[in-house]
A = this chain, B = another copy of it.
Amino acid sequence: MAFAHFHGLGSLQVTSRECVFNTRNDTSNNRRYAIKACIKKPDENIHLESKINKVLDSVKWDEKGLAVAIAQNVDSGAILMQGFANRDALATTIASKKATFYSRSRSTLWTKGETSLNFINVHDIFLDCDRDSIIYLGKPDGPTCHTGAETCYYTSVFDSLNEPQVETSKLALTTLYSLESTLSKRKEELSTPQQGKPSWTKRLLLDDKLLCSKIREEADELCRTLEENEDESRTLSEMADVLYHEMVLLIRRGLKFEDVLDVLRCRFTQSGIEEKNSRKAKTVT
């Protein structure tokens, strides 16, 4: 099918399957052991350890030996939390692929999820141009915030200024997820007696025939912008239309856009042939 020849975006797997790493009771020594244990052959071991040390040396740790570490959801792009990392925390994250920080209040390493089991599974790590700021790009096992919120950023300053009496709670959502959140609210409103204001989204949510006819129509209009060589702005507008309607369908089915991205990412990280074989039988049309 479509992805049969799609080239992978897979990144280095520093840890191997043999890598057993206990994040709960580690000391500096067994963390070092863990890095070593992640490689099968002794030669590769020394080589990789040297490379990791080179990376760790390249970070501009501050006077306390720390750098800012930001955990970001690899699919949605949501900033999950921000902490600090020292050399050991970064080394541990590289080895274990679980986002690990240095707690300034407790003066100890901590791996996010060691208590809640909501680990952040790190897919890649990025350093900024000054090499004093780190992104842990990963997939969370569950809500990141200790409050149970999906991310730690749920207090909007502008909302606070608008309605200081009301304790607001609104996640820092980027455009696509703001839209998704609004669509979800419209769906929720359908189950309340007054149902709020009338809206196009609600009409679509209540009428599968209308929704599907709109998706087919908007997909067709998107295609026609290419076929008829229309202005680029028309393509953007039609793509926005079709995306909106497709997202309504996801909401209608109780699905999250993030889960679609999860499917796409899984396809990237395996070869087209593997991906094709792993798919369930599907009518090829």
Residues on B with beta carbons closer than 8 Å to the beta carbon of A264: 175-176, 179, 240, 243-244
Residues on B with beta carbons closer than 8 Å to the beta carbon of A45: none
| A156: contacting residue among B125, B153, B179, CB under 8 A | B125
Sort chain A's interface into a size bin.
Answer: 35 or more
Residues on B with beta carbons closer than 8 Å to the beta carbon of A179: 9, 264, 268
Residues on B with beta carbons closer than 8 Å to the beta carbon of A244: 2-3, 264
- Known pairs A133-B82, A137-B174, A175-B265; A235 contacts B255 (CB<8 A): yes
Copies of this chain, complex-wide, total 2
From residue A20, how far is it (CB to closest CB) to chain B in Å? 20
A82 to B156, CA, bound (A): 19
Assess whether B73 is in contact with A199, with CB atoms less than 8 Å apart. Answer: no
| A226: contacting residue among B5, B155, B252, CB under 8 A | B252
Residues on B with beta carbons closer than 8 Å to the beta carbon of A167: none
From residue A217, how far is it (CB to closest CB) to chain B in Å? 6
- Known pairs A2-B200, A157-B127; A263 contacts B246 (CB<8 A): no
Residues on B with beta carbons closer than 8 Å to the beta carbon of A153: 126-128, 133, 135
A99 at the interface (CB under 8 A from B): no
Within 8 A of B (CB), among A225-242: 225-227, 232, 235-237, 239-242
| Chain B, residue nearest A176 (CB) | B261
